[in-house]
A and B are shown apart, each in its own frame.
Chain A
Amino acid sequence: MDAFIIQILNGLDKGSAYALIALGLTLIFGTLGVVNFAHGALFMIGAFCAVFLQQVLSISTVAIDETQKDFLGNPLKVETPYVENWFGPELGGAIIDWSVPLALIFAIPVMIAVGFIMERGLIKHFYKRPHADQILVTFGLAIVLQEVIKYFYGANPIPTPAPDVFKGSFDFGSLLGFDPNVIIYPYWRMVYFGFSMVIIAGIFAFLQFTTFGMVVRAGMVDRETVSMLGINIDKRFTMMFGIAAAVAGLAGVMYTPINPPNYHMGMDFLVLSFVVVVVGGMGSLPGAVLAGFLLGILESFASTTWATTTIPGINQIIIYLVAIIVLLTRPRGLMGRKGVMED
């Protein structure tokens, strides 16, 4: 029972990362009809927004301390961050400590801008091209973005810790009457789960309850008719691209304390997120979210000792196995529409 609850919890936070990326992918695909292989790269850029902010906040004045030596025996350079000079060590330290949550504010405009530039500068020209061309050009873009980040930040992961108050884990089991330490769960992962729920709810509410969202939904169903009604649907779709980019970016920012970001983290997620989208059904937003959580939870269960001793290697293949089973039993994924990306 306790193992069951542990893996449900683990699955939820894995699932929330999958769901957020798949949601963004589906938004782009559903509105623009573009297969975006650079979506993983957007996730990665979001993560590096957090790294960037952390480093900007840590820009330091350098004072040479003759009493200490560095590794070559030269006098040690002591660095004090500017923010600590300006706001005092206490507040300044707190600002640096909170750099990941602060990066959310910073990442939103950056990611929307990146999305706009991508859509207007590149993707726009590929609406009428075959999906294969879209894949190739966005894959090329993903490599370029990745290499640019690598050029500046190197290939090694960069630690970006969560604020101190979120360190450690919460004893979930004691709430449910288990012994202490049986079911524990890190605070930051709980934050991540909550955050993703807010974003997902926000996107659905936005599409469901605003006029803008209504027009976009109408455009997703029948783009031509909507534009014939005199609505500039292209402009709205561009904005949706920006929003999708922001969703991926924010997911990336919040992910940095879970695993230190590196330049190829986007590629690690890319294939997986496509599997999620397809299992959910192309073009279906609820499908993407559902499949994200489903695969996250199943992946967690497959990694238990019980599962791996029953079927060796099940933890390596579970996602793909589920994808095959789902696609063979439900031709268009869990909630896919007929005729989308089938030719």
Chain B
Amino acid sequence: MLGLNKNDRTLLVIVAVLALLAPFILNPFPTDSSLAQFNAGYPDLMQKFVIFGIFAIGFNILFGLTGYLSFGHAAFLGIGSYSAVWIYKLFTYNVIPAMMLSVVMAAIFALLIGYISLRRSGIYFSILTLAFAQMSFALAYSVLSNPKFNLTNGETGLQVYANDIQMFHRDGLPDFPHIFGLSMGSTSKLPLGAWEFQFNVGYYFCAILMILAFYFSIRLFRSPFGMMLRAVKSNQQRMNYTGLNSRPYTLAAFVISGMFAGLAGGLLAATDPLAGAERMQWTASGEVVLMTILGGAGTLIGPVLGAGFIKYFENIFSKINDQVLHQWVSFMPDGLEDFVVALIHPFIGKGWHLTLGILFMLVVIFLPGGLVEGGQRIGRLFGRKKRAEDTADAAAKTPAE
């Protein structure tokens, strides 16, 4: 079915089920409990999970398969966002044309940047992509937002104003990105006992695209084209000696991954109609590199895990403050309570960067294959005990290589 082998099909089904049931899975704690802090099942964060999942899946097609480490992929993310918002401003809030333009614009830029950057390899390639992205960021932040030719609206970010043209916008349509009238921002809430689950149109739109992207990535990994890309990684020279010109393949991979990034950027603007220049900064490019390596470069599921991991920390840990902490440990005697709070204090709230840095190091040191390797180890432990040959869990974590 779908042109996949059994393992891949299981993996795809698992990802699809996880994505579609995310509002339940990510909301394990009752709304009023003190652990509700750890719930991630609200629209914005779920959207971020899948959008950055798409971004990382795309990045992995380039880096995981060919080994070319691009440090400038955020440029395509930003271009995707700007394109989408311009569609909103000029034509319509409907996300379909916006997403299409995002992908197309990202592809054009990726072709251009890729064509030049791929003339070099290794770190020289990385620096070339970094240079292009940083130039895009700098220009978008200032020069391209001057009053005479305001393409990006600079620091504030490009957004839709009431006096914009919006040619095909009419009354009755939501004043928010929508898909044929169904607003991306509309959320239905399902209270179930102590729990409350939120179903958001924008999230499901992104999730379905993520599943498609994931499917595409599996097919690509298993295709002769994917094999060719892997050959580039293992020994480009030998490949060239056999008379194959590898550059068209790497360029194609670069453009595809740029299109994924453009789609992710477009989706960011679809769930929140604002495009800021910071999306193109090197830190954003670095983030997707971290996501991919952290999850497990070259594996199918790894990048998605890495994206979820980083976004979770950014959004959940940064919101834990001392007061929340005191609530958790309020059962302890006073002196001990203060001590415990003081002990944890540097790692939460404004210290979430510290926790993230430590976790980066731990993962890289102990799990060279990223989170996927961690999953594999657990899976193997599990598998040995149960002597099950191919548990679903292990399959989910099987790297592609």
Q: Which residues of A come within 8 Å of B, CB atoms?
A: 35, 122, 125, 129, 131-133, 135-137, 139-144, 146-148, 151, 271, 274-275, 278-279, 282, 312-313, 316-317, 319-321, 323-324, 327-328, 331-333, 341-343
Q: Say yes or no: A282 contacts B123, CB within 8 Å.
A: yes
Q: Say yes or no: A324 contacts B131, CB within 8 Å.
A: yes
Q: Say yes or no: A140 contacts B127, CB within 8 Å.
A: no
Chain B's interface size range is 35 or more
- Which 3 pairs, one residue from A and one from B, show the smallest C-beta to C-beta distance? A143-B357, A140-B360, A313-B143
Q: Say yes or no: A147 contacts B353, CB within 8 Å.
A: yes
**Within the assembled complex, what's the spacing in Å between the Cα atoms of A144 and B142?**
32
Q: Say yes or no: A143 contacts B354, CB within 8 Å.
A: yes
Q: Say yes or no: A320 contacts B351, CB within 8 Å.
A: no
**Within the assembled complex, what's the spacing in Å between the Cα atoms of A32 and B135?**
31
Q: How far is the CB of B240 from chain A (nearest CB, A)?
A: 13
**Within the assembled complex, what's the spacing in Å between the Cα atoms of A321 and B131?**
7
Q: Say yes or no: B354 contacts A312, CB within 8 Å.
A: no
Q: Say yes or no: B138 contacts A125, CB within 8 Å.
A: no
B132 at the binding interface (Cβ < 8 Å): yes
Nearest-CB residue, chain B, relative to A331: B120
**Within the assembled complex, what's the spacing in Å between the Cα atoms of A137 and B288?**
15
Nearest-CB residue, chain A, relative to B149: A312
Chain A residues with CB below 8 A from B290, complex form? 136, 139
Q: How far is the CB of A168 from chain B (nearest CB, A)?
A: 33
Show 29 residue pairs from A and B whose CB-CB distance is below 8 angstroms, ordered by the A residue.
Answer: A136-B293, A136-B294, A136-B364, A139-B360, A140-B357, A140-B361, A143-B357, A143-B360, A144-B354, A146-B357, A147-B357, A274-B130, A275-B127, A278-B124, A312-B143, A313-B138, A316-B143, A317-B138, A320-B130, A320-B131, A320-B135, A323-B127, A324-B116, A324-B131, A328-B116, A331-B119, A331-B124, A341-B124, A342-B122
Q: Say yes or no: B143 contacts A341, CB within 8 Å.
A: no
Q: How far is the CB of A128 from chain B (nearest CB, A)?
A: 10
B69 at the binding interface (Cβ < 8 Å): yes
**Within the assembled complex, what's the spacing in Å between the Cα atoms of A142 and B358?**
10
Interface residue SS majority, chain A: helix
Q: Say yes or no: A317 contacts B139, CB within 8 Å.
A: yes
Q: Say yes or no: B139 contacts A316, CB within 8 Å.
A: yes
Count A/B pairs, Cβ under 8 Å: 127
B346 at the binding interface (Cβ < 8 Å): yes
Q: Say yes or no: B358 contacts A324, CB within 8 Å.
A: no
Nearest-CB residue, chain A, relative to B358: A144
Q: How far is the CB of B233 from chain A (nearest CB, A)?
A: 9
Chain A residues with CB below 8 A from B364, complex form? 133, 136-137, 140
Chain A residues with CB below 8 A from B359, complex form? 140
**Within the assembled complex, what's the spacing in Å between the Cα atoms of A332 and B286?**
23
Q: Say yes or no: A140 contacts B282, CB within 8 Å.
A: no
Q: Say yes or no: B368 contacts A129, CB within 8 Å.
A: yes
Q: How far is the CB of A151 from chain B (nearest CB, A)?
A: 6
**Within the assembled complex, what's the spacing in Å between the Cα atoms of A67 and B48?**
59
- Given contact pairs A135-B293, A144-B357, a sample of 7 additional A-B residue pairs in the complex whose CB atoms are under 8 Å apart: A131-B123, A139-B360, A143-B354, A282-B124, A321-B131, A324-B116, A328-B116
Choose from B116, B132, B294, B353 the contact partner of A320 (Cβ within 8 Å). B132
B159 at the binding interface (Cβ < 8 Å): no
Chain A residues with CB below 8 A from B65, complex form? none
Give B344-365 as 1s and 0s: 1 = Cβ < 8 Å from A's Cβ atoms. 0010000101101111110011
B201 at the binding interface (Cβ < 8 Å): no
Choose from B116, B138, B289, B351 the contact partner of A316 (Cβ within 8 Å). B138
Chain A residues with CB below 8 A from B365, complex form? 122, 125, 137
B236 at the binding interface (Cβ < 8 Å): yes
Chain A residues with CB below 8 A from B128, complex form? 323-324, 327
Q: Say yes or no: B127 contacts A274, CB within 8 Å.
A: yes
Chain B residues with CB below 8 A from A146, complex form? 353, 357
**Within the assembled complex, what's the spacing in Å between the Cα atoms of A270 and B352?**
21
Choose from A141, A275, A282, A327 the contact partner of B361 (Cβ within 8 Å). A141
